[in-house]
């Protein structure tokens, strides 16, 4: 039940909270409230995902019909569970109220778009960003500047309007755009990190480093061949 789940979350964060001198009774109370409120609110984030997914599907189907080719290979979405929202809310620190949590956590709704080619990644991001009802909140280009571990992807947080019966809600959605090679690397890295709980043996770390270079090289080679398939779009901005 809710109480025991919240208790378990507080217990899991106990060390950190004690170090921060947090009143644990009060925190547990706040977390219980956040838990209940967010369980209702979570639906709005699903609507945000639905809106973005519709946009992506429209682009994809239009491309398939006109060009017999789609720059989008696959699309997956996920909605953060209430448990992992609370876990992240505690981990990131700050006020444990719904407005404060919504202001600091922008990946409650996530949509991952996988493309064949790097230029298509930027192209799709560009097309979505130029849609008048989407507002771009942040862009993190880990393709131009990969993370130290070799992670590459384009992250765009967009805000999408969701029209409810009584009001319009603006929901942030985290878009992760990447190539098939980037996705393959990231999912493997994720599985390994999960298995080793971030303490990867040096040999595996080196193997991953090397795989990241190979994946980036493959993307470059594929990009050169792409030109043969279809000319570069006008608006792409890699
Ligand atoms: P989060 O608190 O994890 O959301 O980090 P952040 O706010 O600093 O955002 P960032 O852009 O770094 O990462 C957001 C998301 O991108 C993560 O939740 C993962 O899904 C993905 N990601 C980022 N870095 C890595 C990585 O090194 N490996 C893998 N597999 N995924 C990553
Ligand atoms: Mg995240």
Nearest CA to ligand 1 atom 4: 107
Residues of the chain scoring pLDDT < 50:
236-238
Ligand 1 pocket (Cβ < 6 Å) reads 107, 140, 147, 149, 151, 155, 176, 186, 189-190
DSSP codes joined into one string, 102-153: HHH---SEEEEEEESSHHHHHHHHHHHHTSTT-EEEEEEETTTS--TT----
Q: Which of 105, 186, 205 to mutate to test the pocket of ligand 1 (most atoms within 8 A of CB)?
A: 186
pTM for the model: 0.88
Q: Which ligand is nearest to the CA of 91?
A: 1
Give pLDDT, residue 237.
46
In ligand 1, the atom with minimum distance to the C-alpha of 176 is 16
Q: Which residues, listed in sequence order, are joined to residue 171 by a DSSP beta bridge?
A: 160
Q: Which residues, listed in sequence order, are joined to residue 77 by a DSSP beta bridge?
A: 111
Contact criterion met (CB below 8 Å) for 38 and 89: no
Give pLDDT, residue 119.
95
Residues with catalytic annotation?
Answer: 174
Q: Which ligand is nearest to the CA of 208?
A: 1
Angle 2-12/24-67 helices, nearest 10 degrees?
A: 100
Q: Which of 76, 105, 145, 190 to mutate to test the pocket of ligand 1 (most atoms within 8 A of CB)?
A: 190
In ligand 1, the atom with minimum distance to the C-alpha of 150 is 27
Span from the CA of 146 to the centroid of ligand 2 (angstroms)? 16
Give pLDDT, residue 2.
67
- Distant-in-sequence, close-in-space partners of 116: CB < 8 Å, separation ≥ 6: 71, 73, 179, 180, 222, 226
**What confidence tens digit (pLDDT) does each residue in 67-93 have?**
878 899 999 999 999 989 988 998 898
Give pLDDT, residue 81.
93
Span from the CA of 107 to the centroid of ligand 2 (angstroms)? 6
Q: Which ligand is nearest to the CA of 155?
A: 1
CA distance 160 to 154: 18
Q: Which of 76, 78, 113, 151 to mutate to test the pocket of ligand 1 (most atoms within 8 A of CB)?
A: 151
Span from the CA of 229 to the centroid of ligand 2 (angstroms)? 34
DSSP codes joined into one string, the chain: -HHHHHHHHHHHTHHHHHHHT--HHHHHHHHHHHHHHHHHHHHHHHHHHHHHHHHHHHHHHHHHHHHS--SEEEEEEEE--HHHHHHHHHHT-S--SHHHHHHH---SEEEEEEESSHHHHHHHHHHHHTSTT-EEEEEEETTTS--TT----EEEEEEEEEE-SS-EEEEEEEEEEEEHHHHHHHHHHHHHHHHHTT---HHHHHHHHHHHHHHHHHHHHHHHHHHHHSPPPTT---
In ligand 1, the atom with minimum distance to the C-alpha of 142 is 11
Work out whether the CA dihedral 40, 88, 98, 13 comes out positive or negative: positive
Give pLDDT, residue 100.
95
In ligand 1, the atom with minimum distance to the C-alpha of 187 is 30
- ipTM reported for the complex, 2 dp: 0.94
């Amino acid at each position: 039940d809710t109480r025991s789940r919240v208790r378990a979350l507080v217990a899991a964060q106990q060390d950190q909270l004690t170090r921060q001198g947090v009143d644990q009774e009060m925190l547990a109370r706040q977390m219980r409230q956040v838990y209940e409120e967010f369980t209702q609110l979570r639906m709005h984030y699903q609507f945000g995902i639905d809106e973005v997914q519709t946009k992506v599907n429209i682009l994809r189907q239009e491309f398939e019909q006109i060009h017999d080719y789609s720059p989008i290979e696959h699309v997956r979405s996920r909605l953060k569970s209430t448990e992992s929202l609370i876990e992240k809310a505690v981990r990131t620190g700050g006020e444990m109220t719904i407005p404060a949590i919504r202001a600091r956590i922008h990946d409650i709704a996530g949509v991952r778009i996988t493309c064949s080619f790097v230029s298509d990644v930027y192209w799709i991001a560009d097309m979505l960003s130029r849609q008048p009802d989407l507002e771009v909140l942040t862009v993190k280009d880990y393709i131009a500047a990969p993370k130290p571990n070799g992670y590459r992807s384009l992250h765009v947080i967009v805000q999408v309007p969701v029209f409810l019966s009584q009001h319009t809600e603006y929901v942030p959605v985290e878009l992760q755009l990447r190539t098939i090679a980037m996705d393959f690397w990231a999912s493997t890295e994720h599985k390994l990190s999960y298995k080793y709980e971030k303490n990867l043996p040096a040999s595996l770390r080196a193997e991953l480093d090397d795989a990241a270079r190979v994946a980036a090289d493959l993307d470059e080679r594929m990009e050169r061949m792409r030109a043969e398939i279809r000319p570069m779009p006008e608006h792409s901005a890699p």
